């Protein structure tokens, strides 16, 4: 157990703060490393014993963070000169254990992705919202109150203000308005989708002058339309090149997929993954009978150049691109590893994922796929790529397989952002959005930013935002 004694006020001066931070840096490395190691051992070998060990280390880590978090609050940061010291203390004050993340909805998601039957789609869409959203409405109201209390104890007006503080930007709201620059493109895509869905589902379901019902885009949250490319891809008679088939034909192995990704980074003058990465990572599903958790992730062990990826790689183009994404995390870990452990994370909550997205987009470019022999010039139509309105086979192959498909994703994060972040706009945490209109406001925002509507009337009894993982699991999210 941790016991804390509080010395006199003048003890907490700037010199002491620097010593305190140094001490934190050294000890946190060990504590976090042990926690990561125990978690890794569990997810790559699921046994009762490993689970107990992980939970034990998790508790140690929580106590450790609480201990340092409370102490960090005692320093009178406002009078300090050193900006880094101030920033580190502020970050430490906000640091908590971090929520455990989980996933559900599996089978219903599958229905949303594959069914083209409007009744079945509505059944899955509505079923998920009844089972999850509605059920947590009152809990969510309570959560808002408790979150605000916690934020106020940390010196913030409400939890929204605490979340915004992580971006360390006085112009966050204006920064997010960059979305407006993309809006014309989004509107074009929206109109195109609208027409394609109208073609398939007919005028009784799709009103071309109204919004798109939210259950038809192949995704439970209408946040991506990749799964309905068969309905919307232009020139349906032209079959896109099947890159996965090409990979299999060329006898690609998971080793080659990772090696190619490594080559991509080093060719840009970036860092190679250290030898231990190749030794300690789990790059394919083990064949020794161990039960493992296959969810793809990149891991920082905070000690001795120890960075790993856990992935049950299959030879597909999706997995190849996902490897580039994960290797971007490894690259980012490598780039910041010499900083204080307090700074060993993305520059703000979205930056690290953004790096991964940029690299993946680049890796999936026509030029790169051509370079690594996964697309052939003979499939490239005249007028392909950048010129001409007609996408050629190569461009269509990529569209169909995940890169440009990114464009089909909706600005859902924008929605959650508005709900939680903006003091001037409608807001949840400061109470501007009252709890009896949570759901109504949610749909107002979905209409405004996504051009979507609920397929059936929903009332204040429903709580549709709660059907999205990040809202029910307390994960602030701009994207």
Which of 352, 425 has the CB closer to Zn ion? 352
Q: How far is the CB of 216 from Zn ion (least distance, A)?
A: 28
Q: Pick the piece of the chain touching Zn ion (CB under 5 A) from 54-62, 241-249, 347-355, 362-370.
A: 347-355
**Among 154-162, 277-285, 345-353, 401-409, which window interacts with Zn ion (CB under 5 A)?**
345-353
CA distance to 125, 130, 137, per residue, from 122 (Å):
5, 12, 21
Indicate the residue among 297 and 340 with the shorter CB distance to Zn ion.
297
- State in angstroms the smallest separation of the CB of 279 from Zn ion: 23
**Nearer Cβ to Zn ion, position 356 or 400?**
356
Q: State the nearest-atom distance from the C-beta of 15 to Zn ion, in Å.
A: 39
348 HSE (CA, 13 A, CB side) = 14
Contacts of Zn ion in 200-229 (CB under 5 A) = none
Which part of the chain contacts Zn ion (CB under 5 A), choosing from 230-238, 279-287, 349-357, 467-475?
349-357
**356 lies in the binding site for Zn ion (CB under 5 A):** yes
CB of 406 to Zn ion, least distance (A): 13
Cβ distance to Zn ion smaller for residue 242 or 353: 353
Residue pair 223/410 in contact by the 8 Å Cβ criterion: yes
Q: Given the complex with Zn ion, which of 163 and 324 has the nearer CB atom?
A: 324
What is the 3-class SS of 401-448, one letter each residue? CCCHHHHHCCCHHHHHHHHHHCCCCCCCCCCCCCHHHHHHHHHHHHHH
Q: Which residues contact 357 (CB under 8 A, 6 or more apart)?
A: 325, 406
Closest residue by Cα to residue 89 from 71, 66, 64: 71
Question: Hey, what are 407's tokens?
Answer: 């464009």
Q: In which residue are the tokens 């203000």 written? A: 161
Does the protein bind Zn ion through residue 307 (CB under 5 A)?
no
**Closest distance to Zn ion from the beta carbon of 25 (Å):** 25
> Residue 308 is inside which H or E element, if any?
strand 307-310
Which residue lies nearest Zn ion, judged by its C-beta? 356
Is 147 or 331 the residue whose CB approaches Zn ion more closely? Answer: 331
Burial 433-466, CB ≥16 within 10 A → b, else e: bebeebbebbbebbeebbbbbbbeebeeebbbbb
By C-beta, is 254 or 331 nearer to Zn ion? 331
Question: Please, what is the minimum distance in Å from the beta carbon of residue 356 to Zn ion?
Answer: 4
Q: How many CA atoms lie within 13 A of 383 on its CB side?
A: 4
CA distances from 242 to 218, 249, 312, 369, 394 (A): 21, 11, 21, 12, 10
| Comparison of 218 and 356: residue with beta carbon closer to Zn ion | 356
Smallest gap from Cβ 322 to Zn ion, in A, equals 9
- Residues 34 and 302: beta-carbon distance below 8 Å: no
Total residues at interface with Zn ion (CB under 5 A): 2
Distance in Å, CB of 328 to Zn ion, minimum: 7
Q: Report, in Å, the least distance between residue 353 CB and Zn ion.
A: 5
Closest by alpha carbon to 124, among 39, 252, 220, 255?
220
Coil, strand or helix at 306: coil
For Zn ion, the closer of residues 24 and 40 by Cβ is: 40
Q: Is 381 in contact with 393 (CB distance < 8 Å)?
A: yes
- Verify binding: residue 479, Zn ion, rule CB under 5 A: no
The contact set with Zn ion (CB under 5 A) reads: 353, 356
């Amino acid at each position: 157990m941790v016991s804390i004694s509080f010395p006199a006020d003048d003890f907490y001066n700037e010199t002491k703060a620097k010593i305190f931070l140094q001490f934190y840096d050294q000890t946190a490395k060990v504590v976090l490393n042990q926690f990561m190691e125990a978690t890794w051992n569990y997810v790559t070998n699921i046994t009762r014993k490993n689970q107990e060990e992980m939970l034990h280390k998790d508790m140690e880590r929580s106590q450790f963070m609480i201990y340092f978090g409370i102490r960090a609050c005692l320093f009178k940061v406002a009078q300090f000169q050193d900006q880094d010291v101030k920033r580190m203390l502020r970050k430490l004050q906000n640091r908590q254990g971090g929520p455990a993340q989980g996933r559900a909805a599996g089978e219903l998601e599958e229905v949303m992705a594959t069914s083209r039957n409007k009744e079945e789609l509505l059944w899955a869409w509505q079923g998920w919202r009844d089972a999850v959203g509605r059920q947590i409405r009152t809990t969510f109201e309570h959560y808002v109150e408790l979150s605000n209390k916690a934020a106020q104890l940390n010196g913030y007006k409400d939890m929204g203000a605490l979340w915004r503080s992580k971006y360390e930007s006085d112009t966050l709201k204006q920064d997010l308005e960059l979305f407006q620059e993309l809006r014309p493109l989004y509107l074009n895509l929206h109109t195109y989708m609208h027409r394609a869905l109208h073609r398939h589902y007919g005028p009784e379901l799709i009103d071309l002058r109204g919004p798109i019902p939210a259950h038809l885009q192949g995704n439970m949250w209408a946040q991506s339309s990749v799964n309905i490319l068969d309905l919307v891809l232009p020139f349906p008679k032209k079959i896109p090149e099947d890159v996965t088939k090409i990979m299999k034909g060329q006898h690609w192995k998971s080793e080659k997929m990772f090696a190619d990704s490594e080559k991509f980074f080093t060719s840009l003058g970036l860092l190679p993954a250290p030898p231990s990465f190749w030794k300690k990572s789990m790059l394919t599903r083990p064949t020794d009978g161990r039960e493992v958790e296959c969810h793809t992730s990149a891991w920082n062990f905070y000690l001795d150049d120890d960075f790993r990826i856990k992935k049950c790689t299959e030879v597909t183009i999706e997995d190849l691109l996902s490897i580039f994404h994960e290797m971007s995390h490894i690259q980012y870990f490598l780039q910041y590893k010499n900083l204080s452990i307090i700074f060993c994370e993305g520059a703000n909550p979205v930056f690290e994922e953004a790096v991964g997205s940029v690299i993946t987009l680049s890796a999936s470019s026509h030029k790169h796929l051509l370079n690594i022999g996964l697309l052939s010039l003979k499939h490239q139509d005249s007028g392909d790529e950048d010129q001409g309105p007609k996408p050629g086979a190569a461009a269509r192959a990529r569209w169909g397989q995940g890169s440009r498909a990114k464009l089909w994703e909706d600005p859902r994060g924008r929605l959650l952002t508005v709900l939680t972040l903006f003091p001037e706009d409608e807001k949840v945490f400061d109470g501007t959005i009252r709890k009896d209109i949570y759901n109504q406001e949610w749909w107002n925002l979905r209409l405004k930013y996504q051009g979507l509507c609920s397929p059936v009337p929903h009332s204040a009894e429903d709580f549709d935002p709660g059907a999205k993982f990040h809202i029910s699991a307390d994960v602030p999210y701009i994207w």
